[in-house]
Copies of this chain bind each other. A is one copy, B any other.
Amino acid sequence: MGRTRVPVQMRWADLDAYGHVNNAAMLTLLEEARIATFWTSDPEGSRSGAKVLSGGPGSDTHTLVARQEIEYLAPLSYSQDPVGVELWIGEIGGASLLVCYEVLTPAGQVCARAASSIVKVDAGSGRPVRFTAEEREALAPLLDDPVTFRR
């Protein structure tokens, strides 16, 4: 339990000359999955599920990426069908989350495993802002064991 699956569209421009999604573009796919899961749609929007973070220019807090790790397990070819990003939380800290991912090709093969440490910060000062009890409660259903890497 804990995982949510987010469909994310690849783009033709994500490919490089090897004909596969470029290694850096893969992190952009993860970013979109993260935003779809955690960000409220707009600063004053209703919050549903785990959508308890905000990040847009108008918001009081930002979400920064502190660390990322990714294993590329199979090349990802272009498809008009979205990849499926399985996303869950491997750890909840005071003001940070370890977000874990498995990326599935449209055919269902795991092509990448990754984890991002993200931190909720004050938009002005850049200082960490602790999650409220309410936010923790909203995030808890996504908790699961951290992703296991092959290394």
A interface, CB within 8 angstroms of B: 9, 11-13, 15-19, 22-28, 31-32, 35-36, 39, 41-42, 55-57, 62, 64-72, 75, 77-81, 116-117, 126, 149, 151
Contacts and interface: CB of A to CB of B under 8 A. Distances in A.
A148 to B, nearest CB: 13
Contacts of A31: 11-13, 23-24
A41 B69 CA distance: 30
7 contacts: A17-B57, A24-B25, A27-B27, A56-B77, A67-B70, A67-B71, A67-B151
Contact of A65 (B23, B39, B55): B23
A32 B56 CA distance: 24
A7 B83 CA distance: 17
Contacts of A75: 64, 126
Interface hub of A11, A65, A78 (most chain B Cβ within 10 A): A11
B28 A13 contact: yes
A9 B33 CA distance: 12
